[in-house]
Structure 1
Amino acid sequence: MPRLTALDPADAPEKFRELLNDIIGRSGGVGEMVSTMAHSPALLQGYLDLSRAMKRIKLPRALSEKISLALQEWIGCGRCLQAHTEAGRAAGLSESDIALARQGTSADAREAALIAVAVRVLAEPSSITDEDVAGLRAHGWSDRVIAELVGLVTLNLLTGAFNLLAGLRAADSTTYDASS
């Protein structure tokens, strides 16, 4: 049972009524998370802006989904796990890829290194060392990708934590998801 109620676009603060109606016009609907975030115009705007920005990251979509699966497994958001599992399959991930990602790793050593650091950025950011960053560079990851990793971690924490706090459990795959 949701702890926070989703807002009908007509009941949203005026500034975001137009934004929500625009999303409905483009996507045919507004997901429960987005309409629940509309209680806070600042949060909703921040989520939408970060989500759109993260669509421009340098990581391949399949790897981005692997990282999101690892992060959401740690965060514990079943709604996000379901969404990223479906997105991962759509990006070409096998069931084995998905299982490994949920364990925080990959069959590819280069990807495994990036996924492991992403989980540490989420769980224990103060533990990241110069050697960790040097290790990512040794695997061929650029400073851009390393920097963007923090954005991807942040977006996953925002959505997972919000869904858990709001009590949003079941994914609705027919509505807008700005992170896809």
Structure 2
Amino acid sequence: MSRLPLVDANSAPAASKPLVEQVQRNNGFLPNLVATLANAPAALEAYLTVGEINSRSGLTLAEREAVQITAAGIHGCGFCVAGHSKIATLKAQLDAPVVTALRDGTAVPDARLEAVAVFTRAVIAHRGAVPDDALAAFRAAGFSDANALEVVLGVSLATLCNFANNLAGNDLNPELASFAWHGLAAAQA
């Protein structure tokens, strides 16, 4: 049960109502993350705005989802691991072994996505000050300096929603139940 109120279009602050309605229309349900963030209109607006900006980055949808799942796993946010596993599976069309590896923090059986996951872990572990060899390895995998900054963008988005969910203690929506996650199988860097 959430430690913070879950609001809907009827109970949300006035500034959040149109955003809540938009999310509900787009998803067919109101994710508990959004129902929590709606308590603070600026937080909800930031989440949706940064999410839209992130979607325009040079990283593919699969690469962006690799960042989100990796960060959520490190941050211990089962809600976001589940939500982004659903997107990775249904929208990015990632194979189950790839999604499982991202969720478990183990070697990803796709070289590009493995490079994204490793670099994401380095960005988080070193608070952005990744070692030279980590940046060189990311570049050697075919990524640009712009892509490195886009990983940082993705981590910033993940941090907002992961920490909000962790603060709230949000339960999974039934629509995400089949993607439930209960922790890392391997230690994170």
Same fold (TM over 0.5): yes
Aligned to 2:38: 38
Q: Which segment is superposed worse, 57-66 or 41-50? A: 57-66
| Mapping for residues 140-159 of structure 1, pairs under 5 Å | 140-159=142-161
CA-based RMSD: 2.2
Please state whether the residue corresponding to 1:107 is helix, strand or coil.
coil
| Mapping for residues 29-178 of structure 1, pairs under 5 Å | 29-90=29-90, 91-102=92-103, 103-125=105-127, 127-173=129-175
Please state whether the residue corresponding to 1:14 is helix, strand or coil.
coil
The whole-number CA distance in structure 1 between the counterparts of 2:20 and 2:47 is 13
Gaps of 5+ in 2: 177-189
Deviations 1:133-174 (Å, cap 9, x if unpaired)? Answer: 222222221122111001111111211111111010213438
Describe the shift of the 1:82–1:126 C-alpha distance in structure 2 as closer, same or farther (beyond 3 A).
closer
Q: Is the 8 A contact 1:66 1:115 kept in 2?
A: yes
Q: Which segment is superposed worse, 164-173 or 102-111? A: 102-111
Q: Is the 8 A contact 2:128 2:152 kept in 1?
A: no
Describe the shift of the 1:22–1:170 C-alpha distance in structure 2 as closer, same or farther (beyond 3 A).
closer
Shift of 1:87: 1.6
Residue identity over aligned pairs, in percent, reads: 29
Q: Is the 8 A contact 1:54 1:152 kept in 2?
A: yes
Gaps of 5+ in 1: 175-180
TM-score by length of 2: 0.80
Query: Number of matched residues?
Result: 174
The whole-number CA distance in structure 1 between the counterparts of 2:127 and 2:18 is 38
Shift of 1:30: 2.9
Deviations 1:108-145 (Å, cap 9, x if unpaired)? Answer: 33432221110121233255123322222222211221
Aligned to 2:181: none
**Higher percent of residues as helix:** 1
The whole-number CA distance in structure 2 between the counterparts of 1:31 and 1:85 is 14
Q: Which segment is superposed worse, 10-19 or 140-149? A: 10-19
Q: Is the 8 A contact 1:104 1:115 kept in 2?
A: no
Shift of 1:53: 0.7
Letter of the 2:19 counterpart: L
Q: Which segment is superposed worse, 80-89 or 40-49? A: 80-89
